[in-house]
Amino acid sequence: MIPIWVYAGKKMSTELRSRQVPLLALAAAFSFVIMMFNVPIPGGSTGHAVGGAIIGIVLGPWAAVIAISVALVLQALMFGDGGITAIAANCFNMAVVMPFVAYYVYKILSGNTEITSSRRIIAAAVAGYVSLTLAAALTGFMFGIQPLLYTDANGVPLYMPYGLNITLPAMLLEHALGFSFLEALVTALIYGYIQKTDPSILYEEIKKSKRAKTRRAAPA
Partner 1 sequence: MDKIIRNLAIGLLVLMIFVPLGLLAVGETFGEWGTEELEEKLGFVPPGLEQLAPMWSAPVPDYALPGDESETGMVAAYYLSAILGVIICGGLLYFVGKKVARN
Give residues in contact with partner 1 (CB under 8 A): 9, 12-14, 16-34, 36-40, 44-48, 66-67, 70-71, 74-85, 139, 143, 150, 152, 156-161, 167, 170-171, 174, 190, 193-194, 197-198, 201
- Strand segments, DSSP code E, in 21-163 are 39-41, 45-47
Query: Closest distance between partner 1 and the C-beta of residue 4, in Å?
Result: 17
Secondary element (H or E) of residue 24: helix 21-34
Query: Closest distance between partner 1 and the C-beta of residue 194, in Å?
Result: 7
Q: Are 26 and 190 in contact (CB under 8 A)?
A: no
Q: Helix, strand or coil for residue 46?
A: strand
Query: Closest distance between partner 1 and the C-beta of residue 108, in Å?
Result: 26
Query: Closest distance between partner 1 and the C-beta of residue 187, in Å?
Result: 14
One-letter amino acid at 1 equals M
Cα distance between residue 61 and residue 70, in whole Å? 14
Cα distance between residue 204 and residue 191, in whole Å? 13
Cα distance between residue 17 and residue 164, in whole Å? 43
Main-chain phi, psi angles of 124, to 5 degrees = -65, -40
In terms of CB distance, is 55 or 123 closer to partner 1? Answer: 55
Query: Closest distance between partner 1 and the C-beta of residue 193, in Å?
Result: 8
One-letter amino acid at 188 equals A
In terms of CB distance, is 153 or 218 closer to partner 1? Answer: 153
